[in-house]
Amino acid sequence: MTFTSEQKDGFFEAVESMKKYRRADLIDEKGRSLLEKLYTDPLPNELVLKKALLNNTTFFIGRKGTGKSTIFLRLEQELRKKENYLSCYLDVKTIYEKSQSQYHTIAKVKEVIPEELFNKYLIERTFIQNTLIAIQEELNKKYNSLGDKIAGIFVTTKPEAVKERIDELLQRISDNKTLENIEIPLLRSIASKTKNINEDFKEKETKIGGLEVTGGLKTDGIEGGIKTDSGMSWKKGNKDISEIESEFSTVLLQVFQIKEIINEIKSILSILKIDHLFILLDDFSEIDDHAILRFVDVILAPLNNWSEEFIKFKIAAYPGRIYYGKIDPGKIDTIYLDFYNLYSQFDRDKMELNAADFAKRLVNSRIEYFTDTNSEFFFDTDSLKIEEYYNLFFKVSMNVPRILGYILSFCYQSKTIYDKRINKTDIESASQRYYEDKISSFFDSTTYSLLGINEKISILQLKELLDKVNEKLSENRRKIQTKELTATSYTPTIPYSTHFHFNPDLEKFLKTLELNFFLSKYNDMSDKDGLPSSIYCINYGLAKKLNIPWGKPEGNQYRKYFIERPFNFTKLIVEFLNGSKRILCINPECGKEYSIDQLKFLEFNKFKCNNCSSPVEIKSISEKIAKEISAIDQNKFLPAPELKIIQELLKSNEPLYAKEIAQEIDYSGQLIGWRGKKLAEDHNYVTRLREKEGTPYKYKLTENGKRYFN
């Protein structure tokens, strides 16, 4: 069989379009957007898009690659068709990166408050400042792009006066001298309070495996402040420090005068008859925890609550990385984009069918558009029916478009370019390659990151837990093969054992593994004893690596296969936690110790000791991990973006441009350039190359960089 060069190129374009990161739009050769033609809604009849268009503040919650940015692009297209709506897109992560790299030295302020608080304050203020500036820039772009329509309006509405108002607003936000005049008196009053505070207070970070306990904050689906390591790591000091943090929020509110600014924006837009402003916040969960809290308290909540229906936010976030502050969760919409959360809301019995239908619509629309050929043409339908391929696409990707794009891209490299059709084995092998290239490196990144040793232990213990889960699943496979497990539901020739179930109260301990695609939630059912049970599965590529068939036998008689007793992992998880955690009252005169099964009581009691009412602390204990981390040269610990750059360059035999690296690790090209320079000049891990002055740099690892993870 032979494909034409046009068909090969088209297939390549189709699968690469599913891999796109961040704001990468789908465009044709003339630069025109294809998104309206190719957008594939996760639900039939474009239900997600229709819900996004509602005049409500909305959180879009999903893991990386689930299509949040694509939904935003499509939403903007539709809003541009509405005369009285304006959309304003903000990449929160990029703005925050900019805030970190563009410090403004304000000597007068630095003299007033301690350096540690000053540095925090500068980051927060610069972040907010740049956010508001970006909003204004988007408004200005919209104003300039209205063309003839605007020209007609401004014949009678003094366009220069409107421009002046926009420029004046931008200048007031950007002018450091103006801000200093407001800041100094306010900050002096706060600084005086710091003198009366015990300077040697220690932050209390209480951990449970992937968890921190910080009572009082309400977060996505978790009350009482328990968060996974993928979640918020709110810091606890003493009461006085908390009060000072609160006063800083008040200062920021007064400095930026948000209510007045929003009224000015509203007044300016009223000239254009725009009375609804949708602010789209992408990569909201990518910034650090303290910045999320400050951003919500100082920007998001006030604008949402004060704007009198004028502003509505559309926010893209990760599961477990959400903080609402003073926003009433009951008054906002939430759209979940991960497989279980998305499809269980509608028809739990048909979740897999609905997921496979999405994969079918996505793959067909892309391949048929870019190749002008039926998608079946590229797959070996003699060995597997095309509908079975769609179901396989769901399983290997858990319906994450980006993952599916990578897997089909690997298949293109191994089969399509050699004029061979893709078969099931190719897809499975590609899923294993994706797991090994993109997922399993997470723990290496943690080991060499700048996280504190306690936090590293907490995360790296999850690798030990994952290993125990894998061992148990492999043992189940062996027992099915050897017929040690004798129930009629088991099939020795295909020993399915990739799914397991456990007490739902333990889900919080696995959230970091889920967020990073080692595991995925599959369903909720009652176990053999009638007790609620959460069903999870391991990554398809990991299953392939372990040589375990993924899924269960077909047929209605196997509907409850996943809740067979050998797949109950509650005991395994609890025993692991009991051996790796200690839950202690921090009062040395009390020192009461609690067991893992008392967590529910502790949550209810806001993690206060029932003996003395002191806080209860949960410590991760692992002498082995601590010893391994301590053996690493401390100078090798790097920020996460720099670690990811090294990992990406390790996979490449050729030097890469910043843009190419950015596409793979989901950071801006600007950030890659900045971090790449540091890796070259400060650490000698990277060499920067370019053909001539003014052209972009390419990056390659030095010999020192190649040995980094050794």
The span from the CA of 352 to the CA of 355, in Å, is: 5
Tell which residue, 369, 284, 317, 350, has the closest CA to residue 18.
369
Tell which residue, 249, 200, 229, has the closest CA to residue 289.
229
User: What's the start-to-end Cα distance of the chain, in Å?
Assistant: 45
* Cβ-contact 288, 641 below 8 angstroms: no
pLDDT score of 502 more than 70: yes
Q: Which residue, chain included where needed, has tokens 């410590």?
A: 619
- Has residue 47 been placed in a domain? no
pLDDT score of 239 more than 60: no
What confidence score (pLDDT) does residue 104 get? Answer: 45
The span from the CA of 519 to the CA of 435, in Å, is: 11
- Has residue 140 been placed in a domain? yes
277 and 173 inside one domain: yes
The span from the CA of 389 to the CA of 44, in Å, is: 20
Computed over every residue of the chain, the mean pLDDT equals 80
In order of 355, 504, 532, the CA distances from 513 in angstroms are: 22, 15, 21
Among the candidates 599, 617, 637, a domain finishes at 637
In whole angstroms, what separates CA 647 from the centre of its chain? Answer: 19
24 and 86 inside one domain: no
What confidence score (pLDDT) does residue 431 get? Answer: 98
Q: What is the pLDDT of residues 631-681, one digit of tens each?
A: 777 777 888 888 889 988 998 888 999 988 887 887 778 888 889 999 999
401 and 289 inside one domain: no
The span from the CA of 575 to the CA of 468, in Å, is: 11
Alpha helix stretches (DSSP H) within 257-284:
258-270
103 and 246 inside one domain: yes
Task: Take residue 589 and report the two structure tokens written for it.
Answer: 């005169």
- Cβ neighbours, 10 Å, residue 77: 16
- Has residue 282 been placed in a domain? yes
Task: Take residue 489 and report the two structure tokens written for it.
Answer: 């539901």
Task: Take residue 290 and report the two structure tokens written for it.
Answer: 């303290």
pLDDT score of 401 more than 90: yes
Tell which residue, 274, 314, 278, 307, has the closest CA to residue 143.
274
Task: Take residue 271 and report the two structure tokens written for it.
Answer: 């000239």
Tell which residue, 611, 491, 616, 485, has the closest CA to residue 215.
616
Tell which residue, 237, 257, 243, has the closest CA to residue 189.
243
- Has residue 355 been placed in a domain? yes
Largest CA distance in the chain: 86
* Cβ-contact 84, 297 below 8 angstroms: no
* Cβ-contact 454, 205 below 8 angstroms: yes
Instruction: Give me the torsion for CA of 501, 208, 458, 523, rounded to 10°.
Output: 20
DSSP 213-244: E-TT--BTTB-TTEEETTS-------HHHHHH
Residue 596's pLDDT band (boundaries 50, 70, 90)? Answer: confident
What confidence score (pLDDT) does residue 297 get? Answer: 81
- Has residue 94 been placed in a domain? yes
Among the candidates 415, 438, 461, a domain finishes at 438
The span from the CA of 384 to the CA of 149, in Å, is: 55
- Burial bucket for residue 478 (CB in 10 Å: 0-12, 13-18, 19+): middle
Domain CATH code at residue 648: 1.10.10.10
Q: Who has greater pLDDT, 236 or 431?
A: 431
* Domain tally, the chain: 4
393 and 537 inside one domain: no
Q: Is the torsion defined by CA of 139, 673, 173, 256 positive or negative?
A: positive
Amino acid at 319: P
Mean pLDDT lowest among 226-240, 265-279, 495-509: 226-240
* Residue 121: CA count within 13 A, CB half-sphere: 27
628 and 492 inside one domain: yes
Tell which residue, 568, 596, 549, 578, has the closest CA to residue 472.
568
Report, as an integer, the average pLDDT of 8-23: 86
Tell which residue, 325, 224, 331, has the closest CA to residue 284.
325
What confidence score (pLDDT) does residue 157 get? Answer: 47
464 and 404 inside one domain: no
Residue 237's pLDDT band (boundaries 50, 70, 90)? Answer: very low
3-state secondary structure of 620: strand
Q: What is the pLDDT of residues 113-122, one digit of tens each?
A: 555 555 556 6
- Has residue 91 been placed in a domain? yes
Q: What is the pLDDT of residues 25-40, one digit of tens each?
A: 666 666 667 888 899 9
The span from the CA of 179 to the CA of 353, in Å, is: 57
pLDDT score of 289 more than 70: yes
pLDDT score of 212 more than 60: no
**Residues near 67 by Cβ (< 8 Å), separated by ≥ 6?**
42, 337, 401
Mean pLDDT lowest among 12-26, 113-127, 385-399, 524-538: 113-127
What confidence score (pLDDT) does residue 349 get? Answer: 75
- Outline where DSSP puts E strands in 40-121: 58-61, 85-91
432 and 575 inside one domain: no
* Cβ-contact 578, 596 below 8 angstroms: yes
323 and 378 inside one domain: no
SS3 content of the chain, % helix, strand, coil (to 5): 55, 15, 30
Residue 513's pLDDT band (boundaries 50, 70, 90)? Answer: very high
* Cβ-contact 287, 233 below 8 angstroms: no
In whole angstroms, what separates CA 368 from the centre of its chain? Answer: 31
pLDDT score of 595 more than 60: yes
Bridge partners, 317 (sequence order): 61
What confidence score (pLDDT) does residue 668 get? Answer: 75
211 and 359 inside one domain: no
DSSP strand pairing (276-282 vs 85-91): parallel
Tell which residue, 364, 379, 369, 362, has the closest CA to residue 3.
379
- Has residue 510 been placed in a domain? yes
Q: Say what percent of the chain tops pLDDT 70.
A: 75
Residue 308 belongs to domain spanning: 52-200+237-336
- Burial bucket for residue 633 (CB in 10 Å: 0-12, 13-18, 19+): exposed
Alpha helix stretches (DSSP H) within 448-569:
453-481, 511-515, 540-546
* Residue 228: CA count within 13 A, CB half-sphere: 22
Q: What is the pLDDT of residues 172-196, one digit of tens each?
A: 666 655 555 555 566 566 655 555 5
3-state secondary structure of 688: strand
Helix axes 258-270, 159-174, angle to 10 degrees: 160
Residue 227's pLDDT band (boundaries 50, 70, 90)? Answer: very low
**Residues near 375 by Cβ (< 8 Å), separated by ≥ 6?**
363, 364, 367, 368, 386
* Cβ-contact 470, 546 below 8 angstroms: yes
Task: Take residue 83 and report the two structure tokens written for it.
Answer: 């005369």
432 and 464 inside one domain: no
- Cβ neighbours, 10 Å, residue 610: 13
Task: Take residue 381 and report the two structure tokens written for it.
Answer: 């339908």
pLDDT score of 87 more than 70: yes
Among the candidates 394, 413, 438, a domain finishes at 438
- Cβ neighbours, 10 Å, residue 92: 24
pTM score above 0.85:
no
What confidence score (pLDDT) does residue 337 get? Answer: 94
What confidence score (pLDDT) does residue 255 get? Answer: 53
- Burial bucket for residue 518 (CB in 10 Å: 0-12, 13-18, 19+): buried
Alpha helix stretches (DSSP H) within 547-668:
570-580, 599-604, 623-630, 640-650, 658-665
509 and 429 inside one domain: no
- Has residue 605 been placed in a domain? yes
